[in-house]
């Protein structure tokens, strides 16, 4: 009987997620959760110090130092380097990571490294992120790496310690959700708008407990960078992870990167990766379809990423149910806005182009194309924070920094920066910001700060116009 | 880890949906490198004005809720950032359990690793508990992980579910790492078949 079932199972069509899951489950004994092997563990300064402390206290070592990669991103100042870190507590945290990496033999890309950057930007650009892998990091936006057909998810500090010590994680098997995006994104509509469109449609908990697999013509047509933006923001729909099967676009991006497979094994790896796509007829716990042509450039108006409307519309009327109404009123009060206000009439004080959602070369190119030949509106402070040193150098080689600087944008050093404002880049109370980051929670970018999530093009346009404006009407120079 | 078997405590209502971990522990307090001392900063931006003055209207600042150990909240509690600091702050403040219609995945996992119980009840039950907690002085719940029940003295009683493994670990206060290392032979066998990629070994 067992043999028959086994045979049946092997012939059952499987999803991409199931293939990777099956490949990595080490044991699933009765009464225990399946134990999943972790191929790559990314580490940063904020969620790791207590984990290393735990190891030390228990006399444990890092089981697989070569599968563990660390960088500093959340706390680092974005002033020209080398610069001293003025905040003593941030300094202590960065130094703790350096000391921990030295003690446990973990590779660290520190502030002086030419590979330093936001953890989710450097994993892919160094070629560490590969199809079929399991990837974890003490950061919720680890879902970004799913763009390569990897199973990648965020974990807490206890789990960071667990992976450091054992390279494994007990995991409840998530359910699967297929989101098929048909058609083609219109001009001016980016992967960020697709991500916001999905969250707006299914809500901030719409994918809770699920791993999303994205498919369909519109997804296939996306560049790797756009795919990362889409997978990155899936966590804002509550998803455990998001994935896109690897294809020619993926392989072309990966080839020749520092930690990608070398020439001798390249073809063999590509052949293996090709097999990871979902089988025809694979069954998902839930499926939905989206028509790319129905999406517009979006702007969020509230204090969670599900509160999203097309740029050409107005802030929605208050909902009829009393509880929802109170929630909406609270959000509007925090945001200093009123129901019915046209989005294009909302003025901004600050603009932030950066974060692991939108700080890659493609994002900076898109924003620079908008900014070219214009000036940032008076009274607006706009900053561009590249996702990594490599992005920064590539952008400078193309002269993007000059376009931004000429237009009056600040051009800064890589890090998380105003995505979460753990470094000195923060909003002041009441300041309103068009931001390419991923969270518009109360106080996320600084206490009392008001965040509107948009695409890089929309952010650049808002900086120049001084208010939100439909990028589809932009006159490029 | 502190085991959780049965707990009776005063309930504090914070019945809003989508309370994210940025609210539970604002980022300016994430720079500590210890696990302790976060309770002071729990819900900081709601508890204190910019100048640092206590906001009398916020539930946890009201004398009636001093010593509370159970929080009742709206759906999708703990969404957003994976920061375990949010759980450390709740636990350090004195919370032993959070009752809500649903929890964000990473947050719920983090809770289990720290002996903080997440009790998922229906939307109607959560709102009923929240209402009683704000109207009845000293309102208490009893949460029993052995029988998987949550009840009050006024006739409310409900069952909740939790996966068997997590329940076992919470009841016994078990350390996940030690449990995992019981599989050392399996892990080593897997690693023998799946070596570190060649390009990473330089
Ligand atoms: S850029 Fe923002 S979301 Fe991304 S890792 Fe940094 S803080 Fe987290």
For the cut 50, the answer to whether the pLDDT of residue A153 exceeds it is yes
DSSP run (H or E) holding A242: strand A241-243
In a domain? residue B200: no
Tokens of A195: 């991500």
The percent of residues above 90 in pLDDT, for chain B, comes to: 85
**What's the pLDDT band for A3 if we cut at 50, 70, 90?**
very low
In a domain? residue B182: no
Helices and strands (DSSP H and E) totals, chain B? 8, 7
Closest of A231, A171, A221 to residue A195, by C-alpha: A231
Tokens of A264: 């001798």
SS (H, E, C) A284-303: CCEEEEEEHHHCCCEEECCC
In a domain? residue B65: yes
β-sheet bridge partners, residue B99? B72, B119
What is the predicted pLDDT for the residue at B202? 78
Q: How far is the CA of A259 from the centre of ligand 1 (A)?
A: 23
CA distances from A275 to A19, A215, B7, B101, B102 (A): 9, 16, 51, 40, 36
**What's the pLDDT band for A323 if we cut at 50, 70, 90?**
confident
**Cβ within 8 Å, pair A162-B176:** yes
Rg of chain A on CA atoms, in Å: 22
Closest of B36, B40, B41, B46 to residue B73, by C-alpha: B46
Residue B135: give the domain boundaries: 6-175
Mutation choice for B interface testing from A88, A153, A157 by most B CBs within 10 A: A157
Residue numbers in B near A266 (CB within 8 A): none
In a domain? residue B198: no
For the cut 90, the answer to whether the pLDDT of residue B130 exceeds it is yes
Helices and strands (DSSP H and E) totals, chain A? 16, 19
**What's the pLDDT band for A101 if we cut at 50, 70, 90?**
very high
Residue A112 near residue A414 (C-beta atoms within 8 A)? no
CATH code (residue B40): 3.20.19.10
Using the atom order of ligand 1, give the atom closest to the CA of residue A73: 6
In a domain? residue B92: yes
Check CB contact of B162 with chain A, cutoff 8 Å. no
**What's the pLDDT band for A433 if we cut at 50, 70, 90?**
very high
Residue numbers in A near B87 (CB within 8 A): 156
What is the predicted pLDDT for the residue at B50? 87
B153-197 pLDDT, tens digit per residue, is 999 999 999 988 899 999 998 888 988 988 999 999 999 999 999
A250-288 pLDDT, tens digit per residue, is 999 999 999 999 999 999 999 999 999 999 999 999 999
Least confident of A228-242, B27-41, B187-201: B27-41
**Cβ within 8 Å, pair A96-B183:** no
Between A and B, how many CB-CB pairs are < 8 A?
180
Instruction: Among A70, A425, A437, name the best residue to mutate to test ligand 1's pocket (greatest count of ligand atoms within 8 A of Cβ).
Output: A437
Check CB contact of B179 with chain A, cutoff 8 Å. yes
For the cut 50, the answer to whether the pLDDT of residue A2 exceeds it is no
Which residue in the set B50, B84, B198 is minimally distant from A47, CB to CB? Answer: B84
Residue numbers in B near A138 (CB within 8 A): 82, 84
What is the predicted pLDDT for the residue at B39? 95
Q: How far is the CA of A62 from the centre of ligand 1 (A)?
A: 25
> Distance from A59 to chain B by nearest Cα, in Å?
12
In a domain? residue B46: yes
Check CB contact of B16 with chain A, cutoff 8 Å. yes
The percent of residues above 70 in pLDDT, for chain A, comes to: 98
Which residue in the set B32, B82, B181 is minimally distant from A166, CB to CB? Answer: B181
**Cβ within 8 Å, pair B199-A155:** no
Q: How far is the CA of A275 from the centre of ligand 1 (A)?
A: 32
What is the predicted pLDDT for the residue at B28? 85
In a domain? residue B201: no
Burial A329-361 (b: 16+ CB within 10 A, else e): eebbebbebeeeeebbebebbbbbbbbbbbbbb
What is the predicted pLDDT for the residue at B165? 87
Q: How far is the CA of A420 from the centre of ligand 1 (A)?
A: 7
**What's the pLDDT band for A69 if we cut at 50, 70, 90?**
very high
For the cut 50, the answer to whether the pLDDT of residue A345 exceeds it is yes
Q: How many CA atoms lie within 13 A of A312 on its CB side?
A: 9
CB-neighbour burial class of residue B142 (10 A; exposed 0-12, middle 13-18, buried 19+)? middle
Using the atom order of ligand 1, give the atom closest to the CA of residue A140: 8
**What's the pLDDT band for A9 if we cut at 50, 70, 90?**
low
Number of structural domains found in chain B: 1
Mutation choice for B interface testing from A25, A205, A254 by most B CBs within 10 A: A205
Instruction: Among A43, A73, A121, name the best residue to mutate to test ligand 1's pocket (greatest count of ligand atoms within 8 A of Cβ).
Output: A73
Backbone angles phi, psi at B130, to 5 degrees: -65, -40
What is the predicted pLDDT for the residue at A432? 98
Pick the residue with more confidence: A70 or A322? A70
Closest of A278, A222, A226 to residue A248, by C-alpha: A222
β-sheet bridge partners, residue A242? A212
Closest of A292, A286, A315, A289 to residue A194, by C-alpha: A292
For the cut 50, the answer to whether the pLDDT of residue B146 exceeds it is yes
A183-217 pLDDT, tens digit per residue, is 999 999 999 999 999 999 999 999 999 999 999 99
Q: What is the mean pLDDT of chain A?
A: 95
Residue numbers in B near A168 (CB within 8 A): 180, 183, 187
The percent of residues above 90 in pLDDT, for chain A, comes to: 90
Distance between CA atoms of B119 and B99, rounded to whole angstroms?
A: 5
User: In the structure, which protein residues have their CB atom closer than 6 angstroms to any atom of ligand 1?
Assistant: A 73-74, 118, 120, 139, 141, 355-356, 416, 419-420, 437-438
Where are the alpha helices (H) located in A105-190, listed in sequence order? 119-125, 157-166
What is the predicted pLDDT for the residue at B72? 98
CA distances from A97 to A71, A107, A179, B189 (A): 9, 11, 38, 31
CA–centroid distance for B28 within its chain: 20
In a domain? residue B79: yes
């Amino acid at each position: 009987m067992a043999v028959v079932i086994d045979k049946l199972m092997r012939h059952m069509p499987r999803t991409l997620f199931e293939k990777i899951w099956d490949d990595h489950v080490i044991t699933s004994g009765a009464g225990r959760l399946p134990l999943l092997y972790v191929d790559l563990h990314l580490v940063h300064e904020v969620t790791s110090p207590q984990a290393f402390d735990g190891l030390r206290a228990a006399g444990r070592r890092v089981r697989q130092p070569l599968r563990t990669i660390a960088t500093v991103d959340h706390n680092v100042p974005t002033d020209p380097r080398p610069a001293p870190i003025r905040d003593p507590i941030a300094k202590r945290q960065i130094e703790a990571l350096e000391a921990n990496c030295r003690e446990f033999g973990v590779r660290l890309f520190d502030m002086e490294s030419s590979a330093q950057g936001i953890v989710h930007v450097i994993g892919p650009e160094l070629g560490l992120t590969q199809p079929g892998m399991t990837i974890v990091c003490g950061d919720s936006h680890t879902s970004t790496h799913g763009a390569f057909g990897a199973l990648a998810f965020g974990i807490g500090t206890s789990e960071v310690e667990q992976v450091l010590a054992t390279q494994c994680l007990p995991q409840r098997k998530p359910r699967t959700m297929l989101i098929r995006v048909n058609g083609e994104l219109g001009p001016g509509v980016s992967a960020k708008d697709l991500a916001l469109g999905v969250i707006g449609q299914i809500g901030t908990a719409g994918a809770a407990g699920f791993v999303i697999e994205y498919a369909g013509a519109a997804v296939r047509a996306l560049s790797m960078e756009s795919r990362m933006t889409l997978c990155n923001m899936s966590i804002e729909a509550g998803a455990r992870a998001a994935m896109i099967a690897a294809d020619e676009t993926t392989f072309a991006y990966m080839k020749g990167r520092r930690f990608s497979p070398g020439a001798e094994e390249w073809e063999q790896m590509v052949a293996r990766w090709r097999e990871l796509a979902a089988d025809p007829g694979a069954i998902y716990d839930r499926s939905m379809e989206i028509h790319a042509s129905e999406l517009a450039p979006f702007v969020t108006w509230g204090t969670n990423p599900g509160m999203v409307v097309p740029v050409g519309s107005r802030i929605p009327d208050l909902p009829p149910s009393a509880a929802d109404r109170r929630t909406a009123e609270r959000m509007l009060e925090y945001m200093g806005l009123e129901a019915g206000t046209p989005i294009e009439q909302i003025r901004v004080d600050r603009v932030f182009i950066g974060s692991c959602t939108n700080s890659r070369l493609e994002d900076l190119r898109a924003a620079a194309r908008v900014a070219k030949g214009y000036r940032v509106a008076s009274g607006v402070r706009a900053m561009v924070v590249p996702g990594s040193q490599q992005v920064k150098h590539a952008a400078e080689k193309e002269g993007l920094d000059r376009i931004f600087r000429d237009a009056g944008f600040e051009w800064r050093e890589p890090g998380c920066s105003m995505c979460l404002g753990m470094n000195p880049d923060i909003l002041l109370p009441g300041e309103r910001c068009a931001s390419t980051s991923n969270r518009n929670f109360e106080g996320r970018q600084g206490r009392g700060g008001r965040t509107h999530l948009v695409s890089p093009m929309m952010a650049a346009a808002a900086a120049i116009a001084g208010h939100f404006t439909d990028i589809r009407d932009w006159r490029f120079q | 880890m502190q085991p959780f078997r049965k707990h009776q405590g005063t309930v504090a209502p914070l019945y809003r949906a989508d309370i994210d971990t940025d609210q539970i522990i604002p980022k300016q307090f994430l720079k500590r490198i210890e696990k302790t001392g976060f309770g002071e900063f729990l819900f900081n931006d709601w508890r204190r004005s910019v100048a640092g003055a206590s906001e009398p209207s916020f539930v946890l600042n009201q004398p009636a809720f001093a010593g509370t150990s159970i929080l009742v909240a709206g759906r999708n509690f703990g969404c957003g950032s994976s920061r375990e600091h949010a759980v450390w702050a709740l636990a350090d403040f004195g919370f032993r359990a959070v009752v809500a219609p649903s929890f964000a995945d990473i947050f719920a996992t983090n809770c289990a690793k720290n002996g903080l119980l997440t009790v998922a009840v229906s939307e109607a039950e959560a709102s009923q508990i929240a209402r009683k907690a704000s109207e009845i002085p000293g309102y208490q719940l009893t949460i029993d992980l052995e029988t998987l029940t949550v009840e009050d003295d006024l006739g409310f009683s409900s069952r909740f579910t939790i996966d068997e493994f997590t329940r076992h670990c919470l009841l016994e206060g078990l350390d996940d790492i030690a449990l995992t290392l019981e599989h050392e032979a399996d892990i080593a066998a897997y690693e023998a078949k799946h070596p570190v990629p060649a390009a990473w070994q330089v």
